Amino acid sequence: MSNKIQTELLKCNDNNIKKASEYLKQGHLVVFPTETVFGIGGDAFSDKAIKKIFKVKKRPIFNPLIVHIKDKDSIEDNAIINKKAEILINYFMPGPLTLILPINKKSKISKFVTAGLNTIALRVPSHKIIKSILEEFGRPIAAPSANISGKPSSTRANDAYNAFKGLIPCIMENKDAQIGLESTVVGFYEGNPVLLRYGALEVEKIQDILGEKVLIRNSIKKTEKVLSPGQTLRHYSPVATIRLNAVKAKKNEVFMGFGKLPENVLGKNLSENRDLSEAASNLYSTLIDLDELCFKSNKTQIAVASIPNIGIGKTINDRLKKASNKN
């Protein structure tokens, strides 16, 4: 007998928000859009739900999850806030910022969420669907990006459906534009901010508000101490290999353009007008589509046009660089 679950794609309305919340109460997982990428979430208090997240995503258990909470006031139920964290909370939450803070002893979050660390990742999302689910459910939701570990994140309900159909009961759809890149992750070392993952919130904005440079530890060298376990893993990678800073496509390649596509090339554009925000919101869906195009047209590699390394372009380049890593 098959133990597959029927997976429904649900439109966002009050009834379906209630339905999603009911599923969470029963210990199921739910996929929902956020202002960054889609998340696959479960009850952050439930060991059973959290173990399911690691299982369906095939995520290594040492890689901790982000806990999504409904408002800033809930941060103190779970974590200890320092002075600089308080400034960032006041300026950037709700929004695409995740803070890594020491766990507060009174927190009821499952120990599997934090993978045995004494810190916790917290984020207050601003997107109306996840906000309504958090409100209705009444507990924090642990949610990584809605993709199989190592693959490109989902920015379309259908990509999440293809990854998790038969494993979870529902996926909330979304038509609104999304930023398309994950939240910026900031931790603290001896009270000072450290950027652990480039993300949707530009690091320059964080530096402006704090009035100081933020130490960048977005990736690690083999000799360094691991500050964020996700940095050690292969990420965002399609099946096809990736070649960066390409001008045109070779025989075995399809092309990912930024600006006009070269003539007669098989490929897709991130942004015809060279708009970095548009490119960000198209990045993961284009990677997924070009991977499929490679498969269908017997090609093995995606050649990617060079992207300006400014503002959100830094995050796009970070993702592309990690996606192109061969191990």
Q: Which residues bind ligand TXA (CB under 6 A)?
A: 34, 36-37, 39, 63-66, 98, 100, 114, 117, 119-121, 123, 143-145, 182-183, 185, 187, 196-197, 228-230
**Is the Cβ of residue 145 or residue 174 nearer to Mg ion in the bound state?**
145
Q: How far is the CB of 5 from ligand TXA (least distance, A)?
A: 21
Give the H or E element holding residue 196. strand 192-197
Helix axes 157-164, 276-296, angle to 10 degrees: 40
Return all residues near 308 (Cβ < 8 A) that are at least 6 apart.
274, 276
Return all residues near 267 (Cβ < 8 A) that are at least 6 apart.
249, 254, 255, 256, 257, 261, 290, 293, 303
Q: Which residue's Cβ lies closest to ligand TXA? A: 230
Pattern 126-145, binding to Mg ion, x per CB under 5 A? -------------------x
- In angstroms, rounded to a whole number, what is the distance separating the alpha carbons of residues 299 and 295? 6
With the CA atoms of 271, 276, 282 and 288 taken in that order, what torsion angle do they form, in degrees rounded to the nearest 10?
90
3-class state of residue 96 by DSSP? coil
Pattern 142-161, binding to Mg ion, x per CB under 5 A? ---x----------------
- Among positions 19-48, residues that touch Mg ion (CB under 5 A) are none
**Is the Cβ of residue 219 or residue 324 nearer to ligand TXA in the bound state?**
219
Q: Which does 65 bind (CB under 5 to 8 A by kind): Mg ion, ligand TXA, none?
A: ligand TXA
Q: How far is the CB of 86 from ligand TXA (least distance, A)?
A: 19
Instruction: Tally the residues of the chain.
Output: 327
Q: How far is the CB of 64 from Mg ion (least distance, A)?
A: 12
Helix axes 14-25, 128-137, angle to 10 degrees: 50
**Is the Cβ of residue 19 or residue 197 nearer to ligand TXA in the bound state?**
197
Q: Which does 314 bind (CB under 5 to 8 A by kind): Mg ion, ligand TXA, none?
A: none
3-class state of residue 82 by DSSP? coil
**Is the Cβ of residue 145 or residue 184 nearer to Mg ion in the bound state?**
145
Q: Which residue's Cβ lies closest to Mg ion? A: 145
Please state whether 219 falls in left (phi above 0), alpha (psi between -120 and 50) or beta.
beta
**Is the Cβ of residue 95 or residue 199 nearer to Mg ion in the bound state?**
199
231 is an interface residue for Mg ion by CB under 5 A? no
3-class state of residue 53 by DSSP? helix
**Is the Cβ of residue 145 or residue 285 nearer to Mg ion in the bound state?**
145
In the complex, which residues of this chain contact Mg ion (CB under 5 A)?
145
